[in-house]
Amino acid sequence: MQKNRNYIPILMLTAFTSCLHQGLPKPLVHYSFSGNTVDEQGHSNKLENNGAKNTPDLFGTPDSAYYFDGTSASMMVNLSDMPDINTSLTISWWFKVEGRPVFKDSLDAGNMIALVDTTKAIGIQFGYRAPGYKTKGLDVWNWGGGTILECQKPEIKQWHHCAYTYDGDKHRYFLDGQLVSESEVKPQSGRPNYLMLGNYPGGTQYFAGSLDEIRIYDQALSTGKIAELFVSEKALPSM
C-alpha cells in the first residue's frame, strides 16, 4: 500500500524535475542514483559498486545517493564516446562530507571523481587534497597530480554542488552555482575511457562522504547554465 500512496508524488517530482532541466543540454552520461547505478541516458554504462552504501540525497529521500566510507568503497565503469579532456567538457556532481577530510600523509587525497585513461596515463581528478599540495584543498588536478584548479573547502554536513568546465582555453570551477576559480593550465591530451568514483584506479586515496547526480557533458556549460543547473537540482516541489 505504501508504494501506491507514493506513486503519484513520485510522478509529480519526475515531471517537475524534467521541466526544470528543459533549458539545459542533454548530458552524455547521468547517474542520478535513484536506487540504482544505471546511466539515466539509457546506455549500458552501469557502475560497478564496490562497497558504496545507499544514503539519503539532498532532500532526505532514502536510497537516492551513495556513501563512500573513505577506506575501501568505490564505483567504476568503462565509458565510450567521451570527449578529449583538452576539448570542451563539463562535469557536474553533488557531494556531502560529515567532517573535515582526514589524510594519512601530506600528499594524500580523497578522490570524488576520476575520469581517466590508465593506459595512456591521462585524465582529470576531483576531490580533497592534503596540505602537502599547498592548495586551498578542494581541487581539480591532472592525472599525476598537477593542480588545475583549487577552491576553499566548504562547510561540512551540507550538500554542495560542484561543476568543472573547460572550453578549450580556460578551466573553470563552480561551487553551489558560483564561479570560484579559473585557470589556463595546459590540460593533458587524450580521451578518457574510465570513470571511477570514491578513489582513482590503482590507488588508495579514498573519498569519505556522499555523492549524487553525476553528469558529464561534451560542451562547456556557460556560467548561466551552471547556475541554472544548480538551482534546478536544488529545487524541490512541495507535496
Angle (CA) 25 26 28, round 5°? 125
pLDDT of 5: 35
Which helix (H) or strand (E) is 224 found in, with range? helix 223-234
Whether pLDDT at 221 is above 50 = yes
Say if CB 21 and CB 232 are below 8 A apart. Answer: yes
- Residue range 171-193: average pLDDT? 97
Total-model pTM:
0.89
pLDDT digits (tens, 9 = 90+) for 1-46: 333 334 334 334 444 444 445 679 999 999 999 889 999 988 888 9
Domains of the chain: 2-234 (2.60.120.200)
pLDDT digits (tens, 9 = 90+) for 139-170: 999 999 999 999 999 999 999 999 999 999 99
pLDDT digits (tens, 9 = 90+) for 64-120: 999 999 999 999 999 988 999 999 999 999 999 999 999 999 999 999 999 999 999
pLDDT of 21: 55
- Residue range 120-124: average pLDDT? 96
